Amino acid sequence: MPEIKNLECSRCQATISAAMPQTLCPKCKGSLYVRYDLQPLHGIAARDAIAREAASCPWAGMWRYRSVLPDVRPVTLGEGWTPMLPSRRHPNAFLKDEGTNPTGSFKARGLALAVTMARHYGLRQLAIPSAGNAAGALAAYAAAAGIAAHIFMPRDVPFANYVEATAYGANVTLVDGLISDCGRIVAERSQTEGWFDISTLKEPFRVEGKKTMGYELVEQLGWEYPDAVFYPTGGGVGLIGMWKAFAELEELGWVKPGKRPRMIAVQSSGCAPVAKAFDEGATASEMWPNAATFASGLRVPKPYGDSIMLEILRESHGRAVAIPDAEILASLQDWAKNEGLFLSPEGAAATAAYGRLRASGFLTASDRVVLFNTGSALKYTDVIAEAMHLERPAGGE
Ligand SMILES: Cc1ncc(COP(=O)(O)O)c(C=O)c1O
Ligand SMILES: [Zn+2]
């Protein structure tokens, strides 16, 4: 594992030491990236050691990439190395099933690393605003590390998110509002209570954990880039993390030379600040009014990392797509019935977006694509049942 060389601001490129816990760039409030000296790992010998070492430690999960993660003892529950499933109907579409992670979502990756670093720094109290799944993941890793978790999420999150966070022993507050309201409360209370705020993109290690999705999808495709990656986008941590991974893979010489994938940010029409900004050619998003969608993870009305995401979408020749909830639900049922895959609403937004971009000609059947199912549908049974107008049938005799 490498030592962290420094943290680097994504906006003004200022460098900051990682010896102490950091949040945002002290100069400009930009998000911080973790930087290492990757030179000693250059070349495919170091790359191929990953698979060799992982073969003797199959439970390593995302820590198979420990050579490009901070040199710290992990807090792990078995996150990462999730299945890459070929679609039964679309020969070049692969579903990356993040629903198999601990706590049933990809949030496990970022929070495993953020809590690992929190323990390393000796932090005792972590606080998070969450659309739901990040709360469950923080609660689990904090429990594993013996650290207190203070969680603020909308009152109407899927019930599973409330149940799991409570079972893990976190201090849970349900807020009458959205994640943006929760974020304000966390920022204020962290000041007065001395909590460490691990909000999306306001500390460097959640992106760093989620970058493993980028390494993983490339390795699972034989160290080759796909043509496009569909990512259900709320705060955008995974999108930003994967793009960082691609830059590192190129610096390391670990990926076969080729064009980086087109990055497709998928949102719900009920909350689509990034898609709107993309369509308008803007460099930042505007607060989305009255955000509402049953894909609760996508209900982020003003993501902090909007400018970074918009830059990535344009640089990759990708785009942002907004899908109405009815179309998300139709795709969810379609993939359940025809592929045997019960996707989260966020994952079904990605499969619906794939259908759209195939129909529009933006992508063809021969384009190799990775569709992210970011969570397990089993965390959403109440929400999906409501969308399907399903009720438990009354008992017989
Ligand atoms: C299942 C699911 N998918 C996607 C997202 C959006 O993730 P990100 O904030 O990394 O864009 C979330 C966030 O809560 C989520 O829970
Ligand atoms: Zn800065």
For residue 50, being part of any structural domain is answered with yes
Q: Pocket of ligand 1, candidates 298, 328, 376: which has the most ligand atoms within 8 Å of its Cβ, to mutate?
A: 298
Counted domains in the chain:
3
For residue 391, being part of any structural domain is answered with no
- Ligand 1: atom nearest CA of 98 is 1
E runs forming strands in the chain: 4-9, 15-16, 32-36, 84-86, 93-97, 125-129, 148-154, 171-175, 196-197, 228-232, 262-268, 319-323, 369-373
For residue 163, being part of any structural domain is answered with yes
Looking at the fold, whether 191 and 232 belong to one and the same domain comes out as no
Burial class (CB in 10 A: 0-12, 13-18, 19+), 59: exposed
301 lines ligand 1 (CB under 6 A): no
Looking at the fold, whether 298 and 220 belong to one and the same domain comes out as yes
101 lines ligand 1 (CB under 6 A): no
Number of other residues whose CB lies within 10 A of the CB of residue 153: 27
233 lines ligand 1 (CB under 6 A): yes
User: To 5 degrees, how large is the angle CA 52–CA 99–CA 231?
Assistant: 90
Instruction: Report the C-alpha gap between 350 and 357 in whole angstroms.
Output: 11
Structural domain for 11, as ranges = 4-68
Q: pLDDT tens digits, the chain, 397 residues: what are they?
A: 678 999 999 999 999 999 999 999 999 999 999 999 999 999 999 999 999 999 888 789 999 999 999 999 999 999 999 999 999 999 999 999 999 999 999 999 999 999 999 999 999 999 999 999 999 999 999 999 999 999 999 999 999 999 999 999 999 999 999 999 999 999 999 999 999 999 999 999 999 999 999 999 999 999 999 999 999 999 999 999 999 999 999 999 999 888 999 999 999 999 999 999 999 999 999 999 999 999 999 999 999 999 999 999 999 999 999 999 999 999 999 999 999 999 999 999 999 999 999 999 999 999 999 999 999 999 999 999 999 999 999 987 6
- Of 162, 197, 232, the residue at which a domain comes to its end is 197
Instruction: Report the C-alpha gap between 178 and 170 in whole angstroms.
Output: 20
DSSP notation for 237-260: HHHHHHHHHHHHHHHHT-S-S-PP
Token pair 């029409």 is at which residue? 269
267 lines ligand 1 (CB under 6 A): no
351 lines ligand 1 (CB under 6 A): no
CATH number at residue 339: 3.40.50.1100
* Residue 348 · residue 335 · CB < 8 Å: yes
SS3 percent helix, strand, coil of the chain, rounded to 5, is 45, 15, 40
- Ligand 1: atom nearest CA of 110 is 10
For residue 216, being part of any structural domain is answered with yes
Full-model pTM: 0.97
Note the ligand closest to the C-alpha atom of 347.
Answer: 1
According to the model, what pLDDT value does residue 396 have? 76
According to the model, what pLDDT value does residue 397 have? 67
CA of 71 to the centre of ligand 1 (A): 27
Amino acid type, 63: W
* Residue 348 · residue 214 · CB < 8 Å: no
For residue 10, being part of any structural domain is answered with yes
According to the model, what pLDDT value does residue 1 have? 61
Q: Alpha helices of 153-292 — where are they, by DSSP H?
A: 159-167, 179-193, 205-210, 212-220, 237-252, 273-279
Q: Across the chain, how many H-helices and E-strands are there?
A: 13, 13
* Residue 70 · residue 280 · CB < 8 Å: no
Looking at the fold, whether 378 and 234 belong to one and the same domain comes out as yes
Looking at the fold, whether 283 and 216 belong to one and the same domain comes out as yes
